[in-house]
Amino acid sequence: MTTTLWLPTPAASARRRSRSVIPGFGLTMGFTILYLSLIVLIPLAGVFFKAAGLGWQGLWDVVSSARVLAALKLSFGAALIGAGINAVFGPLVAWVVVRYEFPGKRVLDAIIDLPFALPTAVAGIALTSLYAGNGWIGQYLEPMGIKVAFTPLGVIVACTFIGLPFVVRTLQPVLEDAEKEFEEAAASLGADRWQTITRVILPAILPALLTGFALAFARAVGEYGSIIFIAGNLPMISEIAPLLIIIKLEEFDYGGATAVAATMLVLSFALLLAINLLQAWTRRRHGGRS
């Protein structure tokens, strides 16, 4: 009696190794497309479909009106300025939290997340109370000719407030993983602090910084609750685009509301795409140098 030993072929071994607890690509991709379609694609398609009912001329008449243009300019301009401010000061906050130990560090770390946790209405009321003419901060600014509450400047303050955590939390893991030896090597080679920041630290954190900037901008563009209290909501002056959409819905102008919403979607997507392309370019450039 002979015994035959069975040895698995390379193909069988490859199939066994390819088995995974997680379902295969086809099934997971199918669920991914279904989920994104129900949550994102179908609602957005509905917005564009409703706006298309106006026709090109009707759509242009709504978007090109002075009030809509002023609201879009304020929403996108304030969001870009707020994200830019956070792109400058957010890295400083992240650097302090990551690199230094001091009393109250945990409290400071928790305060950074307050814009995440606070209801938007509460944040708007708090900012208005601080920066109004009789507020704790506003009472000192207005005598100097700086009026914050109920002006476009108040919109920028609110956009900066809600966007800070996105920049800080995006940069924190990058700074934690950064090797201090590179900074010490730069210092030993005669580099001053500014050269170390611009040539060693900044290139390493730039892709993450651009990601945080994009997240802060996207969050601020669509913000409503924390802005309407401090903005003043004056047409052509301090009226944001999301509020204008609500006003048109209350007036049963559904076509006009969806036209403004579709315009915001297109502009936001174009800006975010440009930021993502810039981020990919900086990552490739930095990777090529390293």
Top CATH class of 45-289 equals mainly alpha
pTM: 0.82
Is residue 233 within 8 A of residue 107, CB to CB? The reply is: no
Domain boundaries, the chain: 45-289
pLDDT in tens, 258-285: 999 999 999 998 988 888 888 788 777 7
Distance CA 275, CA 79 (A): 14
The mean per-residue pLDDT over the stretch 216-244 comes to 91
The band of 46, judged by pLDDT with boundaries at 50, 70 and 90, is confident
